[in-house]
A = this chain, B = another copy of it.
Amino acid sequence: MSQEHPLCPLLRQLELYSDLPDEDRRLVLSLPYRLRRLDPGSYLVREGDRPEHCTVLVSGYAFRQKVTGKGSRQILALCIPGDAVDLQNLFLDVSDHSVQVMTLCTVADVPRETMQKLVLQRPAIGIAIIELTLVDASILREWVVNIGRRDARARVAHILCEFAVRLESRGLATEHGYELPMTQEQLADATGLTSVHVNRVLKVLEAEGLISRKRRNLHFEHWRALQDVGDFSRRYLHLADDEILAEVGARPARAHRRPEASPEA
């Protein structure tokens, strides 16, 4: 398999909800970029930064986080390979949160200005970005619900389900299981719990026969039951129903339609 263009994941993301005109597609792939390697634990963006580029996570895992005045950390989102991590900072000047990488990562930096100009010239790309941003917001809303109104067992089950489905949609997992890319402490910071309690909940889920694990490797024994426990429905992820493992250009018909593109280009 030949090496994929590093901006392919970005294009794929942008086309998740509706195809772009060929010209836009070409322009995205010809964006200037610079590849960078990041060691685990290093920061991609820090709260308060004024980022100069829009970065795409080509490989590896990262998460968004914020730290309270008292020093506790809250994880806000998981970034998985293919995510455009920095759309947040493309149009807002100063970053309101940090992004830290969990594993060795490769990222592609696209100059912010170039990207902004592209959006200003190609409205379809702007719309694609709006869609991605709206989905991010939808996930955040579900996290608020998860942390605000579910007990620990449900919270953990829910987040495990979410990762499963999101990873699966990129071909990085199946409903049978996956390699959890985070520690129990990170899981705790993502669910508003302590690592001790997360550990206990995981054992409960295991004892109930819902999951099994060796090390970080998760196996779902009863996928359906786990979803029930976690009160999980994939609707909020706004994925097409059978987008799982779909190839670019081989996406199923979506109920979504954009108003007929005006006869431009």
| A171 at interface by CB-CB < 8 Å | no
Is the interface on chain A under 10, 10 to 19, 20 to 34, or 35 or more residues?
Answer: 35 or more
Quick check: A144 and B36 within 8 Å, CB to CB?
A: no
| A72 at interface by CB-CB < 8 Å | yes
Chain B residues with Cβ below 8 Å from A48 are 235, 256, 258-259
Complex CA gap A206/B48 in Å reads 33
Chain B residues with Cβ below 8 Å from A136 are 137
Complex CA gap A178/B107 in Å reads 46
Complex CA gap A173/B131 in Å reads 33
Complex CA gap A134/B126 in Å reads 13
The stretch among A2-10, A117-125, A216-224, A243-251 that forms the contact with chain B is A117-125
Quick check: A144 and B143 within 8 Å, CB to CB?
A: yes
| A92 at interface by CB-CB < 8 Å | yes
Quick check: B120 and A121 within 8 Å, CB to CB?
A: no
Complex CA gap A147/B28 in Å reads 38
